[in-house]
Chains A and B, each alone.
Chain A
Amino acid sequence: MAEAALSIRGLAKRYDDGTLALGGLDLEVPAGSFFGLLGPNGAGKTTLISAVCNLLRPTGGEIRVFGLPNSSLAARRMIGIAEQEPNLDRFLTVRETLIYHGGYYGMTRAESARRADEMIDVFDLRAKADVRAPKLSGGQKRRLLLARALLHEPRLVILDEPTAGVDLELRHELWRYIRRLHEQGTTIVLTTHYLEEAEALCEEIALISGGRIVARDTADGLKRRYEAQTLEEVYLKTVATGRLAAAREEEVPA
């Protein structure tokens, strides 16, 4: 497939309170890639993701998903998102949450119910299948969020800090599962604050700071470019100092 999974041109967002979260960001994520988005708190990762998923009113720019405008129905159908903050329907049980989600995305009841059961097993939620979302633990909510994102078999899976607050076992389980999806051709975009997670999983990494992409390469490429031993060193040399180094902009290869 020639078309990039995600193609972003000049994306800008100024929130109503005046905060400039993104200032003309460009990003291309090739189809089938496993892509990491790293950056400090407030860098604009969630803002970027929300814009892609039609959950934000951008103030400028263009977003295409597999060549289609991101607001088109076909593009929406291809995206699966797990947001950073758990946002579960308080009136629905675990199983209902999944089945209704499939319905919103245009699946039939039978198809959606089948996938819901599959996801319930994958994310080890069997014992909680008939429990309503507010009664789940933090980690269980996170599992349900991931199950919901994957339920309609999206081609582009966007995970905003999926492993924050989950136990070690699920983290490894999740890694394994996402890797398998990726092997089957799904494009994955992941944000995380665990650098070893990014290094272990992602083929390509973009570092974002102050609403701009400041570097983008494979983990090894980044290490070479910044003469660093670890990804952490690269992170410290780029985005962590980004705040005090706005003046050094020219030196930082974009």
Chain B
Amino acid sequence: MTGRAYAEQPFEAPEPWRGFLWLSLRECHRVLRLWTQTTLAPIVSSLLFIIVFGLSLGGRISEIHGYPYEIFIVPGLIAMAMAQAVYSNNASTIFQARNDRYIDDVLAAPMYAWQMNLGFNVGGYFRALMIGGALTALAAPLTGAPIERPLYLLVVVPLLLVGFGALGTIVGIYAHTFDHIQFVNNIVILPLTFLGGVFYSVENLGAPWEEASHANPLFYVVSALRYGFLADADVSPWLSAAVLAVIASVLVVWAQYLFSTGRRLKP
């Protein structure tokens, strides 16, 4: 302890950027500490899909849009794995922090509300990018899946991460139990991604299911990633990107509203 009286010291200038970086670091630290659960498990399960559906059944299914089946399903599986990872990571980290109240250490800290919001999301981005990167690296040699439009991916992958990350934040803030978080994943994200055309082209469905699929927001997520990898999709890549951008914006505004007002985060 210094002998100098605190009252004589100059005020410490707040360094909100540093706080934000430490919070981001904390979130990545959490992901790495639980890496078998957070990263390895989703990679293994997506690879199983590729191997079981693609490589073993793929030979019996004719090409879709000119691509062998095992290649056709890769982008959708990567989209699904990343969306689920960022969603469940952010929902559970916020939920745990609220539940144990250690979120107070962040809520009281000298940071802006948007920095708290973003900081809690960084772990999910990190986790989803690790999964997406690993799956891409493994699927390419296994199936020969190309990356035709890397720049397009650089736009839509961040939109996917931000959108589903914000969804996780919102659910983590509203959830009363852990089951609520699982529920949204199992009843909303998972089925809608399957129905969004991970395993088939919605064109093959015929009316009215093809039209109905266009009302499914996850259809655009799958289409966007498929366009990025295969330069081919059921809808215009710009429409997919626009839908992703709108979804991400709405959810980010909602999540930020919760952080700015402290609604449900503070009594």
Q: Does A184 contact B (CB under 8 A)?
A: yes
Which chain B residue has the least Cβ–Cβ distance from A102?
A: B22
Which chain A residue has the least Cβ–Cβ distance from B119?
A: A104
Q: Please give, as numbers and ranges, the residues of chain B lying within 8 Å of A185 by CB-CB distance.
A: 5-8
- B33: shortest Cβ distance to chain A, in Å? 6
Partner of A91, one of B8, B22, B30, B106: B30
- A188: shortest Cβ distance to chain B, in Å? 11
**How long is the Cα–Cα vector from A104 to B119 in the complex, in angstroms?**
11
The A interface, classified by DSSP as helix, strand, loop or mixed, is: loop
Q: Are B12 and A88 in contact (CB under 8 A)?
A: no
Partner of B110, one of A77, A81, A184: A77
Q: Are B111 and A104 in contact (CB under 8 A)?
A: yes
Contact-size category for B: 35 or more
Q: Please give, as numbers and ranges, the residues of chain A lying within 8 Å of B179 by CB-CB distance.
A: none
Contact-size category for A: 35 or more
Q: Are B108 and A89 in contact (CB under 8 A)?
A: no
Q: Are B14 and A76 in contact (CB under 8 A)?
A: yes
Q: Please give, as numbers and ranges, the residues of chain B lying within 8 Å of A106 by CB-CB distance.
A: 12-16, 18-19, 110
Q: Which of A28-81 contact B (CB under 8 A)?
A: 31-32, 50, 53-57, 66, 73-74, 76-79, 81
Q: Interface residues, chain B, CB within 8 Å of chain A?
A: 1, 3-8, 11-16, 18-19, 21-23, 25-26, 29-30, 33, 96-97, 100-102, 104-112, 261-263, 266-267
> Can you list 25 A-B contacts (CB < 8 A)?
A16-B267, A32-B7, A50-B267, A54-B107, A54-B262, A57-B263, A74-B14, A76-B110, A77-B11, A77-B12, A79-B108, A83-B104, A87-B102, A89-B102, A100-B22, A100-B26, A101-B105, A104-B106, A104-B109, A104-B111, A106-B12, A106-B18, A106-B110, A107-B18, A184-B7
